[in-house]
Structure 1
Amino acid sequence: MTGLRIAILTHSTNPRGGVAHSLALAEALCALGHEAVVHAPDPTGRGFFRNAACSTVPVAAQPIAGTTVDLVRARINDYLRHFATPAACDFDVFHAHDGIGGNALATLKHRRLIPRFVRTVHHVDSFSDPQLAEWQDRSIREAARLLCVSRTWVDWIRNDIGAEAAVVGNGVDLSVYRSEPTEADAALRERWGLGSGPVILCIGGFEERKNTLGIITAFARLRESHSQAQLVIAGGASLLDHAYYSARCRAALAAAGLAVGRGLAVVETGPVPQAEMPALYRLSDVLAFPSRKEGFGLCVLEAMACGTPVIVSRLPPFTEYLAEGDALFVDPAEPGDIADAMASALIPSRRGRLRVAGFARAAAHSWRACAERHRDAYAACARPIEETTHA
Structure 2
Amino acid sequence: MTALRIAILTHSTNPRGGVAHCLALAEALCTLGHEAVVHAPDPAGAGFFRDAACPTVPVAARSVGGTTVDLVRTRINDYLRHFATPAACDFDLFHAHDGIGGNALATLKHRRLIPGFVRTVHHVDRFAEPLLAEWQDRSIREAARLLCVSRSWADWIADDLGTRADVVGNGVDLSVYRWEPTEADAVLRARWGLGAGPVILCVGGFEARKNTFGIVQAFARLRAYHPAAQLVVAGGASLLDHSAYRARCRAALAAHGLAVGAGEAVIETGPVPQDDMPALYRIADVLAFPSWTEGFGLCVLEAMACGTPTIVSRQPPFTEYLEDSDALFVDPADPDAIAGSMAAALAADTRARLRAAGRVRAAAHSWRACAARHLDAYAACARTRQESIHA
Shift in Å at residue 63 of structure 1?
Answer: 1.4
Give the secondary structure class of the aligned counterpart of 1:224.
coil
Residue matched to 1:359 = 359
Contact map agreement 2:115 2:385 (CA 8 A) in 1 = no
Which residue does 1:227 correspond to in 2?
A: 227
User: Within the alignment, does 1:373 sit opposite 2:380 as a pair?
Assistant: no
Q: 1:310-357, CA deviations, whole angstroms, 9 ceiling, x for partnerless residues?
A: 000001000000000000000000000000000000000000000000
TM-score, normalised with respect to structure 2:
0.99
Matched residue, 1:244: 244
* Contact kept in structure 1, 2:214 and 2:334, CA below 8 Å: yes
- Do 1:92 and 1:388's aligned partners in 2 also have CA atoms closer than 8 Å? no
3-state DSSP of counterpart to 1:11 = coil
How many residues align? The count is 389
**Can you list the C-alpha shifts for 1:31-63, whole angstroms capped at 9, x where unaligned?**
000000000000010000000000000000011
Unaligned runs of 5+ in 1: none
Cα distance between partner residues in 2 of 1:259 and 1:63: 33
Structure 1 residue 386: deviation in Å?
Answer: 6.0
In the TM superposition, 1:340-351 aligns within 5 A as 340-351=340-351
CA contact (8 A) 2:200 2:285 kept: yes
What is the aligned partner in structure 1 of residue 148 from structure 2?
Answer: 148
Q: Deviations along 1:235-257, whole A, 9 cap, x unmatched?
A: 00000011111110000000000
Amino acid at match of 1:187: V
Match of 1:191 in 2: 191
Runs (4+) of structure 1 moved beyond 3 Å? 383-389
Letter of the 2:297 counterpart: G
Task: Give the direction of change, closer, same or farther, for the CA distance of 1:368–1:388 in structure 2 (3 Å limit).
Answer: farther
What is aligned with 2:126? 126
Letter in 1 for 2:372: E
Letter of the 2:364 partner, please give it: A
Secondary structure class of the residue paired with 1:197: coil
Unmatched segments (≥5 aa) in structure 2: none
CA offset digits 1:225-281 (Å, max 9, x no partner): 000000000000000011111110000000000000000000000000000000000
- CA offset digits 1:135-179 (Å, max 9, x no partner): 000000000000000001001101111111000000000000000
1:213 corresponds in structure 2 to: 213
AA of the residue aligned to 1:244:
A
Q: Distance in 2 between matches of 1:41 and 1:384?
A: 25
TM-score for both structures, normalised by structure 1? 0.99
Output aligned runs, 1:157-196, within 5 Å: 157-196=157-196
Report the RMSD for the aligned CA atoms in angstroms: 0.9
Task: Say which SS state the counterpart of residue 288 (structure 1) adopts.
Answer: strand
CA contact (8 A) 1:18 1:122 kept: yes
2:64 maps to 1:64? yes
Distance in 2 (CA, whole Å) between partners of 1:314 and 1:388 is 48
Instruction: Kindly provide the amino acid, as one letter, of the partner of residue 134 in structure 2.
Output: E
Q: Shift in Å at residue 385 of structure 1?
A: 3.7
Q: Report if aligned partners of 1:200, 1:288 keep a CA contact under 8 Å in 2.
A: yes
Q: Give me the identity figure in percent.
A: 79
- SS state at 1:126 partner: coil
> Residue 256 of structure 1 corresponds to which residue in structure 2?
256
